[in-house]
Amino acid sequence: MTPVRFGVDRLIADPALLGTVARVGLVTNDAARLAADATRHSRGALIAAGVPAVRLFGPEHGLTAAADDGAAVADGVDPLTALPVVSLYGERMRPDAASLQELDAVLFDIPDVGARFYTYTWTLFHMMAACAEHGVRLVVLDRPNPLGARIEGAEGPVLEDGCRSFVGEDAIPIRHQLTHGELARLWQRERFGACALDVIACSGWTRAMRWPETTLPWVPTSPAMPSFESAALYTGTCLFEAANLSVARGTDAPFQMIGAPWLDVAAVLADLARRVPKGVEFEEVTFVPSLKPYAGEPCRGVRIHVTSPGALRPVALGMLLMAAIASTHRLRFQWAKYPTAANPGGDGHFERLVGRRDIRRVYDRAPDSIDADLVREWTSTGDWAQRVEPVLLYV
């Protein structure tokens, strides 16, 4: 089996892939490691290979990838490289002209989890817009989509314009099945034609490969993404951030468990059985999250175990589980605000996550009507396969 190598590994092995540059910016964080050596941060390895990095840019969670979810991150200095760090999650979300001044190129090297509402994707989007505006070349050092990338596995809803925010800036599905490099190629084609874009693709990786098939160790991409198992369910269970339930942040299995002190798990599981989610089994559990909501309180919950990865439709699963809870807890289930640096008031979080304004009304008025057929309609991806076919890099 040919070993999987990331774009950064290929650039380190052959710096000529970058061409002639004198001053480079780098968008990265501590989760960006080498495939060849997961103990090495990519920024240190790039500099050691002769890449003339002079400035770093950090996404949500900061350069350390450890700042709290939604917390503003300040500018700083990187202790590893002594380079200045411009935060792109806090005072600004898009780099300004001054931070791009005198750069010949910006490299983008951050691992992703394949979900539309994971904000690293939109840091790429805004960096691409800024590079197009200011005439700076952008080079994406590509990495695998850990969920795999077969386009038939994509799940909507496709984002509506009225739901745009920093957890979704473009009309793409929740589970998009592309890599960052492919998304950049799509945006160059559809939005930022003036951007001078290069993508250094992965080698040894195919669209059929989910993260376990790469045989590479998982490096946590953010505090609540400690394992591939959490990432595999995140596109569906993250929807519960917008409700008064815990997604088990502050446990060893975030996004693999959903619960609340008031949850009647037996009733939920009985209701869920008629909605027939595929590819998973459910376990009744009690967990104590260390983060809100319900920090320090025992939560009755449901733990999701993936039994058939090929059949798993995580977005559909999340919607059906939410319907079962809303149906069995008409008075207890409520929507919740979710304040972040990108949305300080926290309003409309469900609409921002799910990408449509009409779905919440169905949960409010008729959760019993939400079955597999309706969810299949909600998670349709329309012409997505046709839109992305010209930008695909992998088979």
362 assigned to some structural domain:
yes
Note whether 29 and 107 are same-domain residues.
yes
Domain boundary among 158, 191, 218: 218
Closest CA to 354 of 164, 184, 223: 164
At 171 the pLDDT is 98
For the whole prediction, is pTM greater than 0.95? yes
387 assigned to some structural domain:
no
What is the number of structural domains in the chain?
2
391 assigned to some structural domain:
no
Domain containing residue 300: 228-378
Residue 201 sits at φ, ψ, to 5 deg, of -75, 160
Question: In the 8-state DSSP scheme, what is residue 204?
Answer: S
Domain boundary among 198, 218, 238: 218
Could you give the strand order of the β-sheet that contains 76-77, starting from the edge strand earlier in sequence?
76-77, 84-87, 53-58, 24-27, 105-108, 137-141, 197-200
In contact, 9 and 34? CB cutoff 8 Å: yes
Note whether 138 and 265 are same-domain residues.
no
Note whether 207 and 288 are same-domain residues.
no
Residue 380, class by beta-carbon neighbours within 10 Å (0-12 exposed, 13-18 middle, 19+ buried)?
A: middle
292 assigned to some structural domain:
yes
Note whether 12 and 103 are same-domain residues.
yes
Which string of DSSP letters, residue by residue, matches 21-89? -S-EEEE--TT-B-SS-TTSBHHHHHHHTT--EEEEEE-TTTTTT-SPTT-----EE-TTT--EEEESS
Q: How far apart are CA 259 and CA 341, in angstroms?
A: 26
Note whether 237 and 124 are same-domain residues.
no
The parts of the chain modelled with pLDDT lower than 70 are none
Q: Quick one: angle between helices 120-134 and 180-190, nearest 10?
A: 40
Note whether 195 and 276 are same-domain residues.
no
Note whether 55 and 202 are same-domain residues.
yes
Domain boundary among 187, 218, 249: 218
330 assigned to some structural domain:
yes
Question: In the 8-state DSSP scheme, what is residue 159?
Answer: P
Note whether 115 and 233 are same-domain residues.
no
Note whether 373 and 238 are same-domain residues.
yes
Provide, for the chain, the percentages of residues in helix, strand and coil under a 3-state DSSP scheme, each rounded to the nearest 5: 30, 15, 50
Note whether 340 and 211 are same-domain residues.
no
Please count the other Cβ atoms lying within 10 Å of the Cβ belonging to residue 369. Answer: 11
The CATH number given to whatever domain includes residue 235 is 3.90.1150.140
Note whether 190 and 243 are same-domain residues.
no
The CATH number given to whatever domain includes residue 135 is 3.40.50.12170
Note whether 297 and 270 are same-domain residues.
yes
